[in-house]
Structures are given as C-alpha cells and as structure tokens.
Structure 1
C-alpha cells in the first residue's frame, strides 16, 4: 500500500506540473491526493502502525486499556498521527489567512496608495525599478502571491501596452519571489521551515540576503534592456476615498505601521512565548482590525457599506493557495508516515554524514521549474528530520541541524527554479493568466535572465558558506 500512496503523490505532482495543459486546478489535485492518501493509510493502518509507531501504539493500548483491533488502530491513527499533521497544516494556513486579511484591510483603507504616486513617471527604467523595489520590500513582509497580484493590479491600470506590461509584470514576479524567499514569513516554504524548527528567522534572512539580492538585481538589470527609453502610461488618478474611507494620510500611515510593523514583531513574539507564529499573526490582525473600526466608526454605522475594492483575482488566488498548501502538506505528510521518505533518503544518500547538499539543491531547482516550488520544497524537506540537541544522531556540523545548510539551499533553489518558466509558482500562474502570457515567450525573454540571476545567487551562497564557514549559519 505504501507504493500506491506514493504513486498517488507522484501522479498529483505530475498533474500539478502540467496544469497549463490539463487545465485541472492544482489546489483540487493537492486536496484529492491528501484526502485519498489518508483514507488508504487508515484502511491499512495496522501495517503502518506496527512498522513505524509500534512503541507509541503499545503505550496507547496500555493507557486506554484497549485491545489491538482495527478500531483501536484507527483511533490511534486519528489522534496520534493524523491530528498532528492537520495541526502543522493548520498553522501554515492560519498564518496565511491572517496575513492576507491584514493586506485586505490595509488595501481597503488606501494604505498602499503611495505606490501609485511613486509610479508617476515616463522613464521606463525608473518605472521598472520603482515597481521592482516596492514589490521586493512589500514581499519581505507579506506573502509573495498577495504582493504579486496587488502590484500587477496597480501596474495593469497604468501601462496600456500589453508588451510592456508583460516585461514589468515579470519583473514584479521575480522581485516578489526573491523578496518572499528572504524571510520566514514571505512565502509558505519559509513558514514550513520556521514552524518545524528547521530555521530561525534571523539566521534564515541573514544567510539568504546576498543570494536573494543577487538573483533579483541581476535578473532585473537584464530585463531593463528589453524596455524603450520612454514608457506609455495612462493618466494616473488617485482612487476616490470620500465614500468608503475618511482616513487622512497620518491615519493610513499608522495603520500601515501597525500592519507591517506587527508582522515584523511576530518572530520576537515566537521567541518569547514559544507559541506558534500564527497566533502572533492573529494578534496583529486583531489590533489592526480594532484600529480600522475606530478610524472608520462612522462608516461602520452606515446602513450600506460600499463594495470592496479588493480584486476578485486576489480573493480567488488567496483561497486557491490556502487550499493548495493544506492539500500538499497532508499529501506529503501521509507519504512520510508510511516510511517511504526514509527509504528514499537512504537510497539517495541524504542520510550520509556529509551529503552533497548542493547537488540536492540543483535537483530541487530543476524540479521546481515545472513542478510547483512549494510541492518540490515539501518533498525535499520531508526527506530528513530536523536534528535537535537531544537527537542521538546529533552532530555539530550536520547540515540537518536547526539553521543547517540543507534547509537554506533547498529554500533558495526552489525559489530560483520557480522563476525560470513562470509555471513553478502560483504567483507566476497569476501573472500568465492576467497578461495571457505563453510559457515559451516567458522562457525566451524572461526565464533565462531569471536563471542567470538564480545561478549567480547560488554561487554567492556557496562562496559565503565556503569562505565564511559554518559560523555564519550558527549566528543568532
């Protein structure tokens, strides 16, 4: 049955990679693989429990005073195996839901209107770098999908030329992905590593700062050469705020500081309380929500509220990403519980004392060009457990320790690989759908530039590890 469950995951990955051909939504595929995998697991639970959790199962029987039957096995699986997997998935989903709601509140109150003011230029280079820098900075604090769609929506209303929008949109995509990979709250991959204890927020950002900057800057510099001297723009009119918000600039600035500053406080909240980061995100959301209702208390009492201005593509993309993340975590989790990843890890040599991390990183990057980078990352992360001080196999120089090199290399490589064809991320798919881009055009004009930047960043990561030594990765 292990082979059947593993086959379901492989088929799901194939369908996810060929979404642009099959037209089957990757979120639906991930959810189907996760649910069917767990149903099969619990139906043949006795074999898996006796081989992977025999000691825990014995303690469960002794504590509950039950006999070993199919019913007791199902109770054990549902309480001791399935619920922890759901909890890990829920932590990621709740964090994403909280941060995306924060973005919606800020956007509905015009807190990002300053971006439109910055885009009042006819210089194509200034327009490109303004979009890229703002996107990079925002994606450091927010998830890359929300940042990408929000910036694409602004750009779409300013630049009428579809050809130029394709170039600017690609620059936004690369900036959002590189910025998101720089922090543990910028994309789901970093969230998974942070929640599992594989990395700490400060060391993760410090280690990937130069590689992510190099990948972003080099790619954007190469894209700059595709643009003319002057860019055609529509007349930029600031949105009318008289009927839906009465906030002045200082109130919007305060809300922006509460929202973005609160997100930066989450790692500190986690270090102090040791509670899950999503609780900190919910705390920030609640404070921002209260501030929003205080500032807009007159509007809250009106009989009819105006229609929300959040783009429907953002709402749909958010739901799709949340369901996709939940499905993939459950699907990868059930395969891990079968013991298949341990066997695969031994066969690939990832369990060796000094494995070739860079080769694994390149393999992850290649896979993420066609397969979703989150799905790729989850599979590579699941090949090995995080080694803690209490682990009997713990070694100071292990690449699988907390803040170990393995986690950083995989996280960076799947990000870089996802930029090459555009289909490796949900953000890339959102761009291609909005601008009706073809994968061939993307690779010929953008993909190879993103590849050059990604390789340069990987070289910098290798040099920093080789020349500076392990001390760089053990700093806190």
Structure 2
C-alpha cells in the first residue's frame, strides 16, 4: 500500500492525472459517476483493485469539488474497484490466490464472473446516481472553474506524460513480476517505486536542488496518509491472531457442518470478508475444500472468487481499496455504512443471483 500510494502521489505531483481528466467533458456529478465507475472497473482488472482505487481517487479530486459528492464518488470507486478485481486473476488478492493455487483458470474465471461483476457495479451505480442532488448554479460555476485551465509548457506536458506512463506501467508489472518470480508482492511494488523514482530524477536532472525537491519521493512520502496504512496493519494483525490460534478455521468448519448448502456458505463468507479480511477466509476455505472433491473451475471456486472479491465493499474497512480511499478522502465508517453499504449489498446480491442463475442455465 505504501509503495502504490507513493507512486500515485508522484503521478499526481507531476499533474499526470490531468491526461485523463482533460478528456472527460462533463462535470455533472450524476453523469460523472459513470465514466469514473467504468474506468475504475477496467483499471482494477488490468492493475489491481488497490492501485486502481488510488489512481481514480486522485483523478476525482480534479473533477469533483463538492465534499458530499466527492465522498459518494469515492464510495462508488471502492465498489467498482472490488467488482473489477473479482473476475481478473490479477485484480484481487483472493482471486490471485485461487489462480495460483490451481482452483481457477484465467479464461474461465473471466468468462464466468465478468457479467456478475458488471451487475455488482451497475446496481449501486444506478442507486447512487439518484443519491446525488443536482445543483445547477454551483455546477455552472464549477464548469467555469474547470474549463479555465492554466497554460502548461511543452516540457511540463512531456514530464507529465512520461511519469504517468511510467507509473501505470510499473504498477501493471507488479502482478506479472510476482507471477514470474514468486517473490512477495511488496518486493515487486518496491521495485516499481524505484523505477518511477529513477524516471522522476532523470527528467528533473537539470533543475536545481530546491526545484527538484517538490518532485522527489521524499516529498511524495510526506503527503501519504500513513495513519490509514497503520489502521490497515492493525486489522491484519488482529485477523492474523485469529488465524494463528485456529479460530477462523473452527468457524469455517462449524459453518460447513451447520449449513448444508455451499452457495449459502460462500455467500456468508463474502459478507464476513467485509468484517474479517478476505485473504485468511479464502485461505481457510482453500484448506477445507480439496481439489479432488472440487476440481479446477468448479462452481465453488468461481463463486468464492466473486463473493470474497466483492463482499469487501459492504464496509469501508472490508478491503485494501476501501481502507486506502478512506484515508485519502477522510471517509467515516458510519457515513459509509449509511450512504454506501446498502447500495453495495444490493449489487453484491444482484451479481450473486446472476451468477447462480447463469450457472443453473448452462449446467
């Protein structure tokens, strides 16, 4: 998280996200939710849900100024990032775990979960569109504010494109590097940060020390919201304690014994992943159900990938993307529960029903 947030901050310092924002014509907050949600969904499948959420929150800062509308847009980004990551082998940690473990294959997981993931995005997107109240007078003022952009020199425009391209390419290479080397993900992210750091130093090599300082990694790190990272660390430590003493495994076993329906069990696992991190829950499920009984691309693994990937959207602390956005946009737990969780739950249930219905028809 620290490496990804630093790369995103470096891109933002160079104004790299204006490459995207300058191509979005509308500033109507209701209409704006659609391209923001769609871009987040696509980026999370290509990058990962954490990196895409960080990128799109930085983009949104240049598009939406009203505080409440920014919060609603940030909530939509969390939902879209988790929905887009669920159907991609590199989009979410849990899907990656199932992919590396041999429970799912790339082509099958994409084809089976793409439509449910889209439904998981569209349902809350439609609901949240009606939650935003149009303010015509303020919007006109905002239009005037955004259309009067400052002049950018050709050199600054070049630096902007270079850092933007280098940052996104470096983040895209993280899951590829991990798959090839089998090293921990943080080593790939730190390598990506080093590469972007080198690019930033090279393009500002002719400037004096004071001017270069504003584009340095040290300056970017000073702007990172470290408390949100420590908060996420605390959650992982607490969950790690539960896992190490075997409580999570006991809960999973008792759930399997008391509920005689795999679909319901997996659905409950998805909801629980909003409270307890989805990684140990999926790891416990992978230990409970073996590949001999449930072979590769079995319904169990596909539905588990969907539920664990999208269930984290139900609470702001339910996913890495949610915790990162919470820190960047100062989202309160109670506000998210009141304004976003209900829409996220409708999308979660809608996508799950679509998957189960499609599976029943095709099998």
TM-score (norm 1): 0.59
Relative distance call for 1:310 and 1:208 in structure 2 (3 A) is farther
Please name the residue that 2:157 is paired with: 248
Partner deviation per Cα, 1:181-214 (whole Å, 9 max, x = no partner) = 3434444434544565555555544443222111
Which structure 2 segments of 5+ residues have no match? none
Asked if the contact 1:180–1:187 (Cα under 8 Å) also holds between the matched residues in 2, the reply is yes
- Deviation (angstroms), 1:411: 3.5
The match for 2:350 among 452, 456, 461 is: 456
Partner deviation per Cα, 1:211-240 (whole Å, 9 max, x = no partner) = 211111221122222334566343236588
Matched, 1:121 2:26: yes
Relative distance call for 1:176 and 1:246 in structure 2 (3 A) is same
Structure-1 separation of matches of 2:174 and 2:57: 27
Structure-1 separation of matches of 2:316 and 2:70: 15
Bigger-Rg structure (1/2): 1
The match for 1:334 among 231, 241, 244 is: 244
Matched, 1:189 2:189: no
Relative distance call for 1:357 and 1:111 in structure 2 (3 A) is farther
Structure-2 separation of matches of 1:363 and 1:454: 12
- Deviation (angstroms), 1:113: 1.8
TM-score (norm 2): 0.74
- Deviation (angstroms), 1:363: 1.1
SS at match of 2:26: coil
Please name the residue that 1:416 is paired with: 310
Matched, 1:362 2:267: yes
The match for 2:43 among 132, 138, 153 is: 138
Structure-1 separation of matches of 2:179 and 2:65: 47
The match for 1:317 among 216, 228, 249 is: 228
Structure-2 separation of matches of 1:153 and 1:224: 21
Asked if the contact 2:86–2:95 (Cα under 8 Å) also holds between the matched residues in 1, the reply is yes
- Deviation (angstroms), 1:163: 3.7
Partner deviation per Cα, 1:334-361 (whole Å, 9 max, x = no partner) = 235xxx66665554437x9xx7331112
Structure-2 separation of matches of 1:175 and 1:378: 23
Matched, 1:293 2:201: yes
Asked if the contact 1:141–1:263 (Cα under 8 Å) also holds between the matched residues in 2, the reply is no
- Deviation (angstroms), 1:457: 0.8
